[in-house]
Amino acid sequence: MQFETQHFGTIQYESESVFDFPAGLPGFEEEHRFVAIEQPSTKPILFLQSLARPDLCFITLPVLVVDPGYRLAMSPDDLRALGLAEHRQPSIGTEVLCLVIISVSEGNPPTANLLAPLVVNLKTRRAVQAVQSESGYPHRHVLWVPGKEETCSSSDVAPASRF
């Protein structure tokens, strides 16, 4: 199948690569079907392109790239919506794909929404935006501040034999 996008031109995709958000996304309740677009030059960024609106595309990152210790805490309703067991949280990377939406605005550093990740059941491709109101995670986690880049010193460099 193919779809004409505003930012990527015509894209080719398989039906198995479509993420279905039955309830849509907050603020975009009418948007249900998205396809992830990965470009080698921008890895690990995933662009989540709407298959209904050529102009709607979200910039996302895998949550563990932003916070390697991230703890998912989905509600029983969200777990049911994805067809997952309600008695435990799913495993990120094996059972679910967990993405955070990145916000970019002029004059501000980019931020990640850790409060409400996009969670996709890897078997069914069903997805929800799982608002974790009791988690303590922010909805605007600063990714990087321009001019505050860390520099690497010789003490930070490990010899290759250590890996």
**Contact yes or no for 54/4 (Cβ under 8 A):** yes
> Tokens 């003490």, residue?
155
Q: Which run of H or E residues covers position 81?
A: helix 76-81
Domain ranges of the chain: 2-143
Spelled out in words, what is the top-level CATH class assigned to the domain 2-143? mainly beta
| C-alpha–C-alpha distance, residues 46 and 56, integer Å | 14
Q: What is the pLDDT of residues 78-122, one digit of tens each?
A: 999 999 999 999 999 999 999 999 999 898 999 999 999 999 999
The identity of residue 123, as a single letter, is K
Q: What is the pLDDT of residues 24-77, one digit of tens each?
A: 999 999 999 999 999 999 999 999 999 999 999 999 999 999 999 999 999 999
**Which alpha helices (DSSP H) does 51-125 contain, by range?**
63-66, 76-81
